[in-house]
Copies of this chain bind each other. A is one copy, B any other.
Amino acid sequence: MTQSWRSIAGGVTAPQGFQAAGITAGLKASGKPDLSLLLAPEGAVCAGTFTTSLVRAACVDLCSDRLAASGGVARAVLTNSGQANACTGDRGLIDSIRATQAVADRLGLSAEEVLICSTGVIGVPISMETLLQAIDPLAERLSSEGGPAAAQAILTTDLIDKQIALEADLGGQTVRIGGMAKGSGMIHPNMATMLGYLSCDAGVPAEVWQGMVSRAVQRSFNAITVDGDTSTNDTYLAFAAGAALDPADYVALEEGVTAVSQHLAKAIARDGEGATCLLEVQVEGAATEADALAIARTVCGSSLVKTAVHGRDPNWGRIVAAAGRAGVSFQPAAVALWLGEHQLMAAGQPLAFDRAAASAYMRDRAAGAYLSDDTVQIRLSVGDGPGSGLAWGCDLSDQYVRINADYTT
């Protein structure tokens, strides 16, 4: 990230003109906040990226269909937590349409401008009476201070909320980008979703915006893995509305969009069930960025690497073995490997290294979410190609197994 982007207070409502709200509608048995609304200013464009799973929730179909039909225009997104509205048949789509119609009626929008995301238990319909009764009080709470309340209301089993806002001066124009997210891939069983939202108060044509957001997603949400289980509901929606930005500043804007997306994605990996650290894998020297990302993701997702990190065991053989099965071509004889500052391999063969110090390096990177030193860094060089990439994950602990084995029993 260039120096121009600086951290500011607030989340999705930090950018000018955005309003949000979050309330307890009664959809969750726990009584925690479960309904949120994000409203973008008039003229907003919206880019969406969605789960690649063939089994998609009704709300995912609705969002992608509406954005395709409008050419990337939308004003608001409603999010209910408690029910994922996946595997709910025709009723699921009807419920999604009814919910967005109620929001549109209340806000004076057309239903086509309103989107909906759902997260929670698969196969259980949303209690529509409860939801519809809550639209009015929810809309009343809309405000430019509502970001934190909205960020709370989208959570399911997350331990912490996930928000960020950045600001930069681009061509004499102050631009802000805000974001919020929930989940950890499908590490939250049944409660199964990664949802992310981004807001930006610069004006960008819809197709330019979609390109920026799609590339940022490749380098953020698509670069995290917790257990490899893609959810039925994964959705990332990014709104932009404001004074038109000079195209000369698009590169700088994309850096900000990428930084916000990466912050949210890493926050999700950090909050993985049973995780005691963030795992960051950097791959360089690959033929392409896509190749580097494939290797980085495979290493991040390896159960053997994740358990070794949990045990703070500098077990380099597992790392290079995972790289070898990434489905990407590279020269095994060129591989070099670092764990933090400790080099473990060169030219495809192991080096003598201080095992106790390497283990201590990992032990020192523990928990303390959002601390910079909670990150175990693995760096893998696979040749002299121009492709590099980063992926993030977390360790695999016995706590993960207990949480997921005992989920409904």
Contacts and interface: CB of A to CB of B under 8 A. Distances in A.
Interface of A: 52-56, 86-89, 121-123, 186-187, 189-190, 192, 227-232, 301-304, 307-308, 310-313, 315-318, 320-326, 328-330, 332-333, 335, 345, 347-350, 359, 396-398, 400-402, 404-409
Contacts of A232: 321, 324
A303 B409 contact: no
Given A54-B329, A401-B400, A231 B310 contact: no
Nearest to A328: B54
Contact of A311 (B86, B307, B409): B409
Contacts of A408: 313, 315
B409 A322 contact: no
Contacts of A318: 186, 189-190, 229
A189 B306 CA distance: 12
Nearest to A397: B401
A404 B349 contact: no
Given A312-B409, A409-B312, A55 B323 contact: yes
A312 B192 CA distance: 19
Contacts of A323: 54-55
Contacts of A228: 228, 301-303
A307 B186 CA distance: 13
Nearest to A226: B303
Nearest to A331: B54
A346 to B, nearest CB: 11
B405 A313 contact: yes
Given A315-B408, A401-B310, A407-B308, A349 B52 contact: no
Nearest to A122: B317
Given A229-B321, A303-B229, A322-B229, A87 B350 contact: yes
A396 B121 CA distance: 22
A7 to B, nearest CB: 34
